Amino acid sequence: MASVYQQECEKLFQQADIRFNDTRPGDITVHDPRFYKLFLQNSRLGLGESYMDGWWDCADLELMFFKLFTSNIDISFDMKNLPFYLAALKAKIIPMGSKERSACIGPNHYDNGNTLYRLMLGPTMQYSCGYWKDAGNLDEAQTHKMELICRKLQLRPGMRVLDVGCGWGSLAKYMAEHYQVSVVGITVSQEQLEWGRQNCAGLAVDLRLLDYRDVSEQFDRVVSVGMMEHVGVKYHRVYMESVKRCLKKDGLFLLHHITTNQSKWSNLWLDKYIFPGAKPPSMREIARSSEGVFIIEDVHNFGADYHPTLMAWYENFCRHWPEIADKYNRTFYRMWEYYLLSVAAGFRARGIQLTQTVFSVDGILGGYPSVR
């Protein structure tokens, strides 16, 4: 006989046309009945942790999440339970985006091993959304994204560029090679830094282990890809002012970031297991933090392109798993699978976006020519 918890879960998931212990690709097969209670108690956190522990499976996890996200179900119990309040308390004591918490980003995620990222991301080593317009595969999409950024920044030979959150240095390398600019890239990940320095050897690229608040030089252009998600709401204004301090009066700043549809956003599972302290900004938060600091010249949303990007990463991850399985365990595999497919479904359902915003210091006379 089904427990009360199972009955409640079945009633809830039926609204998204998701069944338990059925045979359709997007249905959930429960292996451990403790799943039902844990989900009702901890929502997103419980859903993710129980999957990592093997309490349930789904033949098409991305489809299940897509159906869940496009239904009217509210599974954001995150904001009503004890784990949420404990996380909120921690954020007050050591705010997200503070130097203390920012220093944890590298060791907790980006230092998971360069081999993992090389196999998953491919030769471009771009851990952000590709631009799939006229692209036939992941590598083309990532190259198109880097070219798009360069064109939006209106790069010219001899310019000096700051890359905030430079990752493995691939964008810095592309800018230096194709546009003959010099680049200073900063990261909080030691492993990214070491890889990037080797990757950019012989080019006018200087990669540093440095917090954005500690940069005090002047640049013609500033670019930041996938960094704003880690800044923390409390420090959005600090971030914008820090960038402005480094940018010449006639400079341009391009910000590439995941964007939430609402400012109030929480995902405790992602915060605990994937991106500690991360919170993607809403466009309202971007506008507020840049008000009086920059002029917004151009906004480009191509969030739908993140779905094929994530699915390509997942395909690479699965195909190459045998090469790295001895370095991780089965729980890590399920965690990474859950991460990639749940986020992919979020972008396909348009619950989250990917935005590139171009800023100027005082406004461009005659206007900024949008590039697509």
Which residues on adjacent β-strands are paired with residue 255? 224, 357
- For 209, the token pair is 């282990």
Segments in the chain forming alpha helices (H): 4-14, 34-52, 61-69, 82-93, 99-102, 105, 114-121, 138-153, 170-179, 190-199, 236-246, 268-273, 283-290, 306-324, 330-348
The rounded distance, in Å, linking the Cα atoms of 124 and 362 is: 34
| pLDDT at residue 88, rounded to an integer | 47
Structure confidence at residue 154 (pLDDT): 98
pLDDT given for residue 59 in this prediction: 97
Q: What is the pLDDT of residue 230?
A: 95
Q: What is the pLDDT of residue 74?
A: 80
193, 187 in Cβ contact below 8 A? yes
pLDDT attached to residue 265: 87
Domain boundaries, the chain: 4-75, 99-360
Backbone phi, then psi, for 332, in 5-degree steps?
Answer: -60, -45
For position 103, what pLDDT does the model report?
58
Contact 188, 213 (CB under 8 A): no
pTM passes above 0.85: yes
Q: What is the pLDDT of residue 107?
A: 61
pLDDT tens, per residue, the chain with 372 residues: 689 999 999 999 999 999 999 999 999 999 999 999 999 999 999 999 999 999 999 999 999 999 999 998 888 754 455 554 454 455 555 666 766 655 555 565 666 689 999 999 999 999 999 999 999 999 999 999 999 999 999 999 999 999 999 999 999 999 999 999 999 999 999 999 999 999 999 999 999 999 999 999 999 999 999 999 999 999 999 999 999 999 999 999 999 999 999 998 889 999 999 999 899 999 999 999 999 999 999 999 999 999 999 999 999 999 999 999 999 999 999 999 999 999 999 999 999 999 999 999 999 999 999 999
pLDDT at site 92: 53
Q: What pLDDT score was predicted for residue 101? A: 57
C-alpha to C-alpha distance for 215 and 212, rounded to whole angstroms:
6
The beta-strand segments (E) located in 210-262 are 219-225, 247-260
Q: How is domain 99-360 classified at the CATH fold level? A: Rossmann fold (3.40.50)
